[in-house]
Amino acid sequence: MTFHLFGNVLTSYGTAANNRGENEGNITTLQKLLWKGEVHTTVSAEAIRWALRYYWQTTGDDAVNRQWSDDKNDNVWQSTFDDEQFIDDDVLGFMKAEGAKEEASDQPKGKKAKGTTTAKRGVLEVTRAVSLTPFAGDITFNALSGQKGRTSLYGTEVHATQYQYGFALTPNRLKKASRLFAVLDGLISLGEVAGNHSRFLYDFSPMSIVLRWTHDFSPRLLYCFEQTEPEVISAHSLIEKVKFGDIDPKELWVAGAIAQSPTGDELRNLGATVEGGIKAAVEALKQKIAMDLGITS
């Protein structure tokens, strides 16, 4: 049977606020959505994937095709797409659309020139990150000195919160299944993650994390964290699914701050692996994955 890796991450507490980008405007905004009847801020899956690729580029442990250039302020491709050589082509996928190489006038009558598409669907799937708490509408007001003594006034939306997001990966879809370990290492080490026009420093490494290594095709744990009262994080829906048999507790690795909470105690009593240290829990899971797949971590 095929193994699947699922996870739900709750980030550290921090201040989300986009820096002023190259475009002018009166308000530097955060992306928002209506979540459970209230306005929450959100960070796109693309921004998380960008940060993961940048982590691989920075560590240098795995070759990446698409690299960020500070000098060009843009992405640079090292080569044509190659999911054997490059981890980002294998894990995150790619697409290149090219127009027709012949003009329409050169085609036989009644036929249209067609372009080509080179694509691979990403194996790693990531949800949008959603703030744990609703957005209260906090705005800071700032001034920027311009030319000829002119001053530009603008506001910046700010949200002090934590974010949670989920991910899924099926290792047998990878060209190299061992790259799953680099995905785990990256996701627990993310730093600069933000959406829209400008990245901001926000610690996207997990404060709490739930991982599931299973034959089940469905995650059943996405967005499982909730704040029931100030500074109290729980995962009531996750506990219910374990109690009702939808999730086998032996498939769960739970780590971080949640381990020291009543939720952590209950999951531990139900049979889940619960660790205070996130890195320790991930290393233990990596050993289990390596044994099940017959690969080295």
Task: Answer whether residue 148 is part of any domain.
Answer: no
State how far the Cα of 124 lies from the Cα of 136, in Å rounded to an integer: 33
Check residue 144 and give its pLDDT. Answer: 67
Q: At what angle do helices 179-187 and 45-59 cross, to 10 degrees?
A: 110
Token pair 């603008």: residue: 154
Query: Which residue, 171, 244, 161, 240, is CA-closest to 204?
Result: 161
Q: Concatenated DSSP letters for 257-285?
A: GGGGSHHHHHHHHHT-EEES-HHHHHHHH
Determine contact, residues 27/193, Cβ cutoff 8 Å.
Answer: no
Domain that holds residue 89: 4-23+36-94+116-134+161-293
**What pLDDT does 296 receive?**
80
Instruction: Please tell me the predicted confidence (pLDDT) of residue 196.
Output: 45
The total of other beta-carbon atoms located within 10 Å of residue 78's CB is 12
- 40 falls within a domain: yes
Other C-beta atoms closer than 10 Å to the C-beta of 15 total 12
Weakly modelled stretches of the chain, pLDDT under 70 = 19-25, 96-117, 144-149, 151, 194-200, 297
First to last CA, the chain: 21
Is residue 204 in some structural domain?
Answer: yes
> Which pLDDT score, from 0 to 100, does residue 74 have?
79
How many folded domains does the chain comprise?
1
Q: Is residue 225 part of a domain?
A: yes
Report the distance separating Cα 282 and Cα 280, nearest Å.
Answer: 5
> Do the domain assignments include residue 17?
yes
Whether 194 is in a domain gets the answer yes
pLDDT of residue 25: 61
Question: How far is residue 206's CA from residue 280's CA, in Å, rounded to a whole number?
Answer: 13
Inside any domain, residue 149: no
Element (H, E) at 243: helix 236-243
Beta bridge partners of 167: 7, 126
Closest CA to 275 of 252, 248, 242: 252
- Segment 187-245, tens digit of pLDDT: 999 987 764 445 567 889 999 999 999 999 999 999 999 998 888 899 999 999 999 99
Is 110 among the domain residues? no
